[in-house]
A and B are shown apart, each in its own frame.
Chain A
Amino acid sequence: SQKIEQNSEALNIQEGKTATLTCNYTNYSPAYLQWYRQDPGRGPVFLLLIRENEKEKRKERLKVTFDTTLKQSLFHITASQPADSATYLCALKGTSGTYKYIFGTGTRLKVLA
Chain B
Amino acid sequence: GAVVSQHPSRVICKSGTSVKIECRSLDFQATTMFWYRQFPKQSLMLMATSNEGSKATYEQGVEKDKFLINHASLTLSTLTVTSAHPEDSSFYICSARGIQGELVKRGTDTEAFFGQGTRLTVV
Q: How many chain B residues touch the partner (CB < 8 A)?
A: 26
Q: How far is the CA of A63 from the CA of B12 in the complex (A)?
A: 40
State how many angstroms separate the Cβ of A49 from the closest Cβ of chain B: 5
Given contacts A44-B114, A46-B113, contact A105 B32 (CB under 8 A): no
- In the bound complex, residues from chain A placing their C-beta under 8 Å from that of B65 are none
- Grouping DSSP codes into helix (H, G, I), strand (E, B) and loop, the B interface class, with mixed when no group exceeds half, is strand
* B contact residues around A49 at 8 Å (CB): 109-110
Q: Pick the contact of B44 from A42, A44, A45, A48 — CB < 8 Å? A: A44
Instruction: Write the B29-50 contact mask toward A (1 if CB under 8 angstroms, else 0).
Output: 0001010000001111010010
Q: Give the CA-CA distance A34 to B112 in the complex, in Å.
A: 10
Nearest to A94 among chain B residues (CB) is B46
Q: Are B110 and A46 in contact (CB under 8 A)?
A: yes
**Known contacts A41-B119, A99-B32; 8 further A-B pairs (Cβ under 8 A):** A42-B116, A43-B93, A44-B114, A46-B1, A46-B110, A103-B43, A103-B44, A106-B43
The 4 closest A-B pairs by CB, nearest first: A43-B114, A43-B117, A105-B43, A49-B109
Q: 25 A-B pairs, CB-CB below 8 angstroms?
A: A34-B110, A42-B116, A43-B4, A43-B115, A44-B44, A44-B93, A46-B108, A46-B109, A46-B110, A46-B112, A46-B114, A49-B109, A89-B43, A89-B44, A99-B32, A99-B34, A99-B97, A99-B111, A100-B46, A101-B112, A102-B46, A103-B43, A105-B41, A105-B43, A106-B43
- List B residues at the A interface (Cβ < 8 Å): 1, 4, 6, 32, 34, 41-44, 46, 49, 91, 93, 95, 97, 108-117, 119
